Structure 1
Amino acid sequence: MWSLNRIAFADMYGWAQDDHAAALATLARHCKKPVGETYRTGRLGIPPEPLMTLAAEAAELGARDDPRGFFENRFAPVRLDNGTGEQGLVTGFYEPELSASHRRTPSFAVPFLRRPPDLVPVDDSNRPPDFDPQMRFARRGDDGVLTEFHDRAAIEAGALDGQGLEIAFVADPVDAFFVHIQGAARLTFSDGSTTRITYDGKTGHPFTAIGKLLVDRGEIPAASVSMQSIRTWLAAHPDQASGLMAENRSYIFFRETPAGEPGDGPVAAAKVPLTAGRSLAVDRLLHTFGTPVFVDADRVAGASFRRLMIAQETGSAIVGAARGDIFFGTGSAAGEAAGGVKSPCTFTILVPRDMVDRLPEEWAP
């Protein structure tokens, strides 16, 4: 059972020292989401409409003149507490940057695939009785019957070949695997042109963290597991790498998006460009996109981390009320920074003031 505890901004250690203007600009990005794009209300109960109204205000000159005052006057801080004293957890993610080819060649043979036309979402209204309740996608046959979609091993063995789903090709299957983990990538072609790919559905199979498999099998010490240590192990065991990656049966499909403005991150689940150091991936079943979240983490990039972030992304491994993933930016340096982050944390969500009295005092996810 989670408690939602009203606190004061003065109780948020590090609040006064934060760069509130950077958080304000990240919130204001929601003004540019596509017309007609709506967000679901997370089970915590914060509807998106007041958040989007405040996002519009965040883009105005008055808010930019006093960003700290904007947040303090329009929001109320509510700390999430699970009652056991156990903290939440933050990790890091980034956007890989890879060389790519528009066509399959001997050097560039690993594809990123578009969403197949027979992949359909599954929910309580259409889930077959024998389906795992966690399966959110399925394959629709010509007769309309839903069955389990091909998994990673089957797709990599050619189950979807010949359908023209390929967006681009890269050289290294390990690089491609980690793009699937991150959910996006920036691709650069030999002619100098660039494009971005971002998540557009998955097979529906549960996500399996191969780092946990390596820990459970005694291959990597639990204290040392990170993206870098996993990649090192894969490089040192090329004969086992494909089999290990195939144990993560979840396979991601992508869509192309414009490269965007310099400095912008990829357009992710909230349909706005991510901001390095300010965009947070959350459990979208619990939280509402656009919610400001003050993250107080023990150690991120070698130092304590106390920063106001905006919920703008989600991920298969991001499950729980105080579970977050910090976006670090694009490219290898961002990847190095993101890959080693795994820190206990506390979440304080900022709730629109006219909504805060409507939230329950206790809440079960």
Structure 2
Amino acid sequence: MLKFSAILPLTAVTVLLTACTSAPIDKTSVAIPPVTSAMPAPVTTGTTAAAIKNTDILKPVSFSTLPGWQQDDLTEAWPAFMASCSALRTKPDWREPCAIAKEVEAKDNAAVRLFFESFFVPHQVSNPDGTGEGMITGYYEPLLKGSRKRGGAFQAPLYRTPPDLLTIDLSGLYPELKNLRLRGRVVGNKVVPYASRAEILPALAGKELVWVDDAIDAFFLQIQGSGRVALSDTNEVIRLAYADQNGHPYKSIGRYLVDKGELKLEQASAQGIKEWLLKNPSRQDELLNVNPSVVFFKEEKILDPAIGPKGALGVPLTGQRSIAIDPQFLPLGVPVFLSTTQPNSTRALQKLVVAQDTGGAIRGAVRADYFWGFGNEAGEQAGRMKQRGMLWVLLPKSIN
């Protein structure tokens, strides 16, 4: 077995670290990738609830200070919370609340509210600079039309992980690198960064999982991180789940169009980008190659169409009750009260959600990607969502 800690030269580590570092938050692109399309980290390596308890980004408050807490139907968040318990119940601070949660009447809003108020303390999340507001974007699970064989309208490929892609975890030697993965390939006796989008696609022949009928939809599927494909040749619907990524940081094609003067800031939504591409088909490769990140997929059967894709926590996401967060600041699995507004609106969106995913462009303490669910309507909402918002993390009372 190769021991990369012994053979990786310092220069290679530096280059690869650069390749796997995510881009800054981009306020001109609504379609921000969840971690399923970037660098998922197991919950065992992420920030723990106890760790963030002692940081300056959290301030304990009472439930009465949460705007909209009393109005929220908490029973809608209960399935997402119970899914988190399935992943966290063996952790000391979660054993008691997760055990008692099994006895709570899931359809009784008052009982669910009493449970959270009895076993959790809300903490307002602040950015390191002390500000309490951040960016809230949206994502969803799309449905594409495809085929297992190339032909006719189905000319845009989606790929499985290539066998020469190395994913290297150095956190065992360098704890400060937790939640980061080095990705590269071996050339001779060196490990070098993996190819970017413009370089990689011609070399992936034979690695296709499916072919879909729209290259733009294929690109945005990589941004969403997972999705469903209706296969015309087999009459089945499959899920393509995140498998890996080439190690290059996500770069916003919306920002590129704004910087080039092609779109105004308010037009740089997923819908606006698609409209621009339809009007400028000859510039499609130019635009898509702005983002060097390539996501690879694995196929999963859909046993229950009502169940969402798995997030970074390893449990299925719940539409409008799951969010992606930055695990450098907040722990996966925790309940979070979100206060923001509906897409392109001043109408309040205030509800209990659960941090079950992460994202390559989800960077910062007060930063979340709101999972809208499956299908076209969810996609319309996610594509327009770029709102300001606030977060309160609910931590078990047992955490001192």
Instruction: Determine the C-alpha separation between the residues in 2 that align with 1:110 and 1:49.
Output: 47
- The 1:266/1:125 distance shift into structure 2, 3 A limit, reads closer
Corresponding residue number in structure 2 for 1:22: 76
The reply on whether 1:105 has 2:151 as its aligned counterpart is: yes
Deviation at 1:170, TM superposition (A): 0.3
The reply on whether 1:148 has 2:148 as its aligned counterpart is: no
- The 1:59/1:210 distance shift into structure 2, 3 A limit, reads farther
- The 1:11/1:219 distance shift into structure 2, 3 A limit, reads same
The reply on whether 1:88 has 2:134 as its aligned counterpart is: yes
Deviation at 1:31, TM superposition (A): 4.9
Which of 338, 347, 361 lines up with 2:391 in the alignment?
Answer: 347
Which of 44, 51, 58 lines up with 1:4 in the alignment?
Answer: 58
The reply on whether 1:78 has 2:120 as its aligned counterpart is: no
Q: Which amino acid in structure 1 is aligned with residue 359 of structure 2?
A: G
Task: Note the alpha carbon deviations across 1:151-192, whole angstroms, 9 max, x for none.
Answer: 111222x21223xx2211101110000000000111111242
Deviation at 1:135, TM superposition (A): 7.6
Corresponding residue number in structure 2 for 1:137: 182
Task: Note the alpha carbon deviations across 1:85-133, whole angstroms, 9 max, x for none.
Answer: 4611100101110111011114212221111222222344699xxxxx9
SS in 2 for 1:98: strand
The reply on whether 1:283 has 2:326 as its aligned counterpart is: yes
Corresponding residue number in structure 2 for 1:321: 365
Partners of 2:254 and 2:269 within 8 A in 1: yes
- The 1:57/1:113 distance shift into structure 2, 3 A limit, reads farther
Instruction: Determine the C-alpha separation between the residues in 1 that align with 2:216 and 2:66.
Output: 41
Instruction: Determine the C-alpha separation between the residues in 2 that align with 1:332 and 1:179.
Output: 13
Corresponding residue number in structure 2 for 1:42: none
- The 1:31/1:236 distance shift into structure 2, 3 A limit, reads same
> What are the within-5 Å matches in structure 2 for residues 104-183 of structure 1?
104-124=150-170, 136-141=181-186, 145-156=190-201, 158-162=202-206, 165-183=207-225
- The 1:125/1:94 distance shift into structure 2, 3 A limit, reads closer
Q: Which amino acid in structure 1 is aligned with residue 223 of structure 2?
A: I
Instruction: Determine the C-alpha separation between the residues in 2 that align with 1:144 and 1:188.
Output: 43
Deviation at 1:3, TM superposition (A): 3.4
Deviation at 1:257, TM superposition (A): 1.7
The reply on whether 1:234 has 2:282 as its aligned counterpart is: no
Residue range with higher mean Cα deviation, 321-330 or 85-94: 85-94
SS in 2 for 1:141: strand
Deviation at 1:262, TM superposition (A): 2.9
Corresponding residue number in structure 1 for 2:349: 305
SS in 2 for 1:287: coil
- The 1:55/1:169 distance shift into structure 2, 3 A limit, reads farther
Instruction: Determine the C-alpha separation between the residues in 2 that align with 1:49 and 1:152.
Output: 43
Q: Which amino acid in structure 2 is aligned with residue 188 of structure 1?
A: A
Corresponding residue number in structure 2 for 1:207: 250
Instruction: Determine the C-alpha separation between the residues in 1 that align with 2:276 and 2:331.
Output: 37
Q: Which amino acid in structure 2 is aligned with residue 235 of structure 1?
A: L
- The 1:9/1:49 distance shift into structure 2, 3 A limit, reads same
Q: Percent identity?
A: 36
SS in 2 for 1:111: strand
- The 1:257/1:268 distance shift into structure 2, 3 A limit, reads farther
- The 1:224/1:175 distance shift into structure 2, 3 A limit, reads same
Partners of 2:230 and 2:236 within 8 A in 1: yes
SS in 2 for 1:228: helix
Residue range with higher mean Cα deviation, 345-354 or 133-142: 133-142
Partners of 2:179 and 2:327 within 8 A in 1: no
Deviation at 1:55, TM superposition (A): 4.1
Corresponding residue number in structure 2 for 1:362: none
Q: Which runs of 5+ in 1 are unaligned?
A: 40-46, 128-132, 358-365
The reply on whether 1:58 has 2:101 as its aligned counterpart is: yes
Partners of 1:87 and 1:344 within 8 A in 2: yes
Instruction: Determine the C-alpha separation between the residues in 2 that align with 1:126 and 1:174.
Output: 39
How many residues of Structure 1 are paired with residues of Structure 2 in the alignment?
Answer: 338
Instruction: Determine the C-alpha separation between the residues in 2 that align with 1:174 and 1:49.
Output: 46
Q: Superposition RMSD on alpha carbons, in Å?
A: 2.6
Corresponding residue number in structure 2 for 1:361: none
SS in 1 for 2:203: coil
Partners of 1:48 and 1:289 within 8 A in 2: no
Q: Which amino acid in structure 1 is aligned with residue 142 of structure 2?
A: P
Deviation at 1:233, TM superposition (A): 0.8
Residue range with higher mean Cα deviation, 78-87 or 118-127: 118-127
Q: Which runs of 5+ in 2 are unaligned?
A: 1-54
- The 1:77/1:126 distance shift into structure 2, 3 A limit, reads closer
